[in-house]
Amino acid sequence: MTKQTILVVDDEPSICWAFEKMLTGEGHEVVSASSAEEGIRLAAKHLPDLVVLDVRLPKEDGISAMPKFLKATDNAPVIVITAFGDLETAVAAVKQGATDYLTKPFKLEVALRACRAALKQSANRATPVTTQPMELDSTVLVGTSPAMHQVFRQIALVAESDLSVLITGETGTGKELVAAAIHRHSLRADKPYLPIAPVALNPELIESELFGHVKGAFTGASEDRAGLFERAEGGTVLLDEIGDLPLATQVKLLRVLEQGQFSRVGDVRPRTANVRILAATNAELHEAVGRGDFREDLFHRLTGMQIHLPPLRDRCEDIEPLCRHFLAAMKYAAADTAIDDGLVAELAERPWHGNIRELRNAVEHAAVVARGRPLTIDDFPAPSPGRDDSVASSSQSLEGVIGQWTREVIEASSGKDLQTLHAQFLAATEPTLFQIALQHTHGNRAKAAEMLGIHRGTLRDRLRSYGLDDAN
């Protein structure tokens, strides 16, 4: 490995020490500074291959000082580190030229991966692109959890590119807000942003809505009409619930992504589509690919980057800032409506099947009932009905059992013979699964196979392999 020089600028000695220990162990040289001013002087002296730059510094902050570091280092990569994991900071850092973005506290292995990647690109530095500091709009994406920090980081890194992005997550997690934020911080921000949900359209008119049609193309087509891709020229299109797109339309969408072309319904003349495509889904698209319901080539074209929004129940630390955000946006809620820790703890116990959307509605309901006094759990509506809680609890218990079994097998193996882990798992679970299915169908293998979703011959062969060929 070629020895390279890294400049770490942070006023926390422990951070500088950690990077020095980590990177000298990789064979590199590390120099440290506690302020932007000192860092710029060291940059001019040492010409580092990488700068690790904190945002909050004693005098000049890291974001405003970044152009000086880029100039002093001949456009060396800059990794920004900050304790403020909000979208505005992430986007501002990337807009000013940051290569990557880390939020404190971060794991050393994550920081090391980021440094390795930045040092690889350091040898092929591009001519710096002149950008103006961005005037950041307020965003309705709110969160302080590590999961949301990662979402903010991904938005910041992908916004200025033209990559297609697949946004995944349960209903109500804020997928459309992520798409809007990507557009708002992109180079297409002054062009149209058009979201559409194909599932809400008449299946016979989906292609007309997307690609437009010519007069006479079908009954009722009394004139030429531009579709979504023409109306969004130069801008961004969000295809919500992309998993529900018919296969025939998927083929035409793939043509847009690969060739930048489409044709109106009833017309063979190709038209150019200068749009960025974002897609969102609450479905597992890779499973749809396996079933043949979604084209694999389209799936890969859509996932230039994938951003996953976790459910609210997995990031309960975001409940309080979200509640305060919703209250601040309500004209009829008192500005100082109190939310105490006890209330937050009680809210965190709810399943929030509807995620952020359900929380917002619940907070608005509570604020109206409370009429300016501190909120209590009694002011909130009952939790919305979701999937059966007993099923959820059973599923979570099963996940725990599987997780414990897997860990125990791995630990017992001491890292050996793990190539058979999947086979061991099937041998431990399939016999019971098959026997219960056969009991339920009174020994009818055809019905048991149908229940299991496998071919009857597959069931017969698996029973034979477990010595259950005579199972009833």
Q: For tokens 């690919």, what's the residue?
A: 289
How far is C-alpha 222 from the chain's CA centre?
A: 42
Check: CB of residue 312 under 8 Å from CB of residue 272.
Answer: no
248 DSSP assignment: H
Architecture of domain 156-309: 3-Layer(aba) Sandwich (3.40)
Superfamily of domain 5-122: Response regulator (3.40.50.2300)
Q: What is the pLDDT of residue 75?
A: 83
Residue type, 339: I
The CATH architecture annotation of domain 417-465 reads Orthogonal Bundle (1.10)
- Contact assessment for residue 235 and residue 275, using Cβ atoms and an 8 Å cutoff: yes
In eight-state DSSP terms, residue 191 is S
Q: Which helix (H) or strand (E) holds 363?
A: helix 355-370
- Name the pairing type of β-strands 100-103 and 50-54: unpaired
Domain with CATH 1.10.10.60 in the chain: 417-465
- Going from the C-alpha of 276 to that of each of 198, 228, 271, 281, the distances in angstroms are 17, 12, 15, 17
Is domain 315-379 classified as CATH 1.10.8.60?
Answer: yes
| Helix ranges restricted to H, 50-141 | 62-72, 87-95, 108-122
Q: Residue 138 has which token pair?
A: 């307020």
Rounded to 5 degrees, what are φ and ψ at 239?
-100, 100
Nearest CA to 69 out of 78, 60, 59 is that of 78
Contact call for residues 278 and 238 (beta carbons, < 8 A): yes
Going residue by residue through the chain, which has 472 residues, state the pLDDT in tens, using 9 for 90 and above: 578 899 999 999 999 999 999 999 888 999 999 999 999 999 988 889 999 999 888 888 888 888 899 888 888 889 998 877 677 777 888 877 788 888 888 888 888 988 988 888 775 554 333 333 333 333 468 888 888 888 988 898 898 889 999 999 998 899 999 999 999 989 999 999 988 887 767 666 788 888 888 888 877 778 888 888 889 899 999 999 898 888 888 998 999 998 888 888 888 888 988 999 999 998 888 888 888 889 999 999 999 999 999 999 999 999 998 998 888 877 655 545 667 888 899 999 999 988 998 999 999 888 888 777 788 898 898 887 765 444 444 444 566 667 667 776 776 666 555 667 787 778 778 888 888 888 778 788 888 888 888 888 888 888 888 777 654 4
Give the single-character DSSP code of 332: T
pLDDT at position 390: 43
DSSP 259-298: HSEE--BT----EE---EEEEEESS-HHHHHHHTSS-HHH
At 132 the pLDDT is 32
For the chain, the C-alpha Rg in angstroms (whole number) is: 27
Quote the CA–CA distance of 421 and 413 in Å, as a whole number: 10
Q: Sign of torsion, CA 80 81 87 92?
A: negative
| Integer angstrom CA distances of residue 425 from 163, 395, 449 | 39, 17, 20
Q: What is the pLDDT of residue 278?
A: 95
Query: What CA–CA distances, in Å, run from 83 to 55, 133, 136, 142, 354?
Result: 8, 21, 19, 15, 30
d(CA 238, CA 167): 10
pLDDT of residue 263: 87
CATH 3.40.50.2300 domain position(s) in the chain: 5-122
| Segments of the chain assigned to CATH 1.10.8.60 | 315-379
Instruction: Write the DSSP symbol of residue 394.
Output: H
How far apart (Å, rounded) are the C-alpha atoms in residues 157 and 141? Answer: 16
pLDDT score of 119:
86
Write the CB contacts of 331 (distance below 8 Å, at least 6 apart in sequence). Answer: none
DSSP structure class, residue 144: -
Per the structure block, which two tokens stand in for 428? 């431990």
Q: How far apart are CA 251 and CA 263, in angstroms?
A: 12
Per the CB < 8 A criterion, the answer to whether 56 and 31 are in contact is no
C-alpha distances (whole Å) from 22 to each of 26, 109, 115 are 7, 9, 10
